[in-house]
Amino acid sequence: MPQLMQEIKKFYEEAFQIFNGKSQTPEIELRFYPYIGINHTIRIREQKAFIRLAEISRNLPLEAQKALAFILVAKLFRKKVPTQAKETYRHFIKTEEFRQKVDENKRAKGRKIITTSKGDIYDLDEIFRSLNQIYFDGKIPLPVLTWSARKTFRILGHHDSTHETIVVSRSLDARQVPKYVVEFVVFHEMLHIFHPTIHHGGRRYNHTPAFRRNEKQFAYFEEAESWIEQNVKNLKRNAKKINGE
Ligand SMILES: [Zn+2]
């Protein structure tokens, strides 16, 4: 792990000791993540803390990194954020130099990323946010959400963990497709983030029994399953027409 990461990690360990004193300090998994703008996420899963800091914050000095660690960990435990930390962090992100970097970053990203989360009918960002609140207590970090370029039908959804991307088949972005079906496909892919692939004995386990149990918690599980079963043939027909396959 590079020097900078090691040092930042120490701030998080320190913050955990302060805000979560009684319990053990969790193992910390820290990464910079290409969020556009200055967003950071922190969550706890199975005694492990997953922290993703906006790529842009790599440019912040250690003093600001420490303040940010205290802010994120305090918020995680719903504790009062120390005024000092708040002020320090704000001071650094308000500097002209940093603001310029953020703007440059947004411009560069804006050129590269074609975000297609808003379909003709359904908005994947909106669906993700509401599912996250209802089923995950808002703890799933926002991945890249996108409709597929083509109207695929064999695969209705796909989660790419390397690029933190959820792709949903554009064939579902249609008025005749009930919203709960799109939600169910997104929900399934979110469960892949919630239950990372287990590697065991050279095999990969994606749909573990725990995964399947959680999947059934979706409020329209049966309706969605049966709709998909009954309509996949139609989706396939439409896809062929449109893609000219
Ligand atoms: Zn799956």
Condensed to tens digits (0 to 9), the pLDDT of residues 47-59 reads 889 998 988 888 8
CATH of the domain at 7: 3.30.2010
Residue 25 and residue 96 in one domain: yes
* Single residue among 112, 146, 181 that ends a domain in this structure: 112
Gap from CA of 39 to ligand 1 centroid (Å): 28
How many whole angstroms from 134 Cα to the centroid of ligand 1?
Answer: 20
Question: Using an 8 Å Cβ cutoff, are 208 and 198 in contact?
Answer: yes
| 85 contact partners, CB below 8 Å, separation of at least 6 | 66, 67, 68, 70, 71, 74
Distance 205 CA to ligand 1 centre (A): 10
pLDDT at 129 over 50: yes
Q: Specify the 3-state DSSP secondary structure of 42.
A: strand
CA of 238 to the centre of ligand 1 (A): 23
- Residues 159, 227, single domain; the answer is yes
The span from the CA of 88 to the CA of 92, in Å, is 7
State in Å: Cα 155 to ligand 1 middle: 10
| pLDDT tens by residue, 31-88 | 888 776 778 889 888 788 999 898 888 889 999 999 999 999 999 999 999 999 999 9
Which candidate, 143, 13, 108, 17, places its Cα nearest to that of 65? Answer: 13
CA of 157 to the centre of ligand 1 (A): 8
Contacts 24+ apart (CB under 8 A), 187-192: 187/131, 187/135, 187/215, 187/218, 188/157, 188/215, 189/157, 189/158, 189/159, 190/128, 190/131, 190/132, 190/135, 190/136, 190/140, 190/166, 191/215, 192/159, 192/161
User: Does 141 have pLDDT greater than 60?
Assistant: yes
The token pair that represents 104 in the structure block: 């440059």
Last residue of a domain, one of 112, 145, 162: 112
Distance 156 CA to ligand 1 centre (A): 10
What is the span of the domain harbouring residue 7?
3-112
What's the CA-to-centroid distance between 189 and ligand 1, angstroms?
6
Domain boundary among 60, 79, 112: 112
- pLDDT level of residue 1 (50, 70, 90 thresholds): low
Overall residue count recorded for the chain in this entry: 245
pLDDT averaged over the chain?
A: 86
Residues 132, 28 share a domain: no
Shared-domain flag, residues 65 and 159? no
Contact present, 192 and 208 (Cβ < 8 Å): no
What number of CA atoms fall less than 13 Å from residue 113's CA on the CB side?
17
Calculate the alpha carbon distances from 162 to 33, 56, 88, 168, 196 in Å: 12, 20, 33, 17, 12
For the whole model, what pTM was predicted? 0.52
Query: How close is the Cα of 35 to the center of ligand 1, in Å?
Result: 25
Q: What is the per-residue pLDDT for 38?
A: 79
89 and 161 belong to one structural domain: no
pLDDT at 111 over 60: no
Structure token digits, residue 5: 């990461």
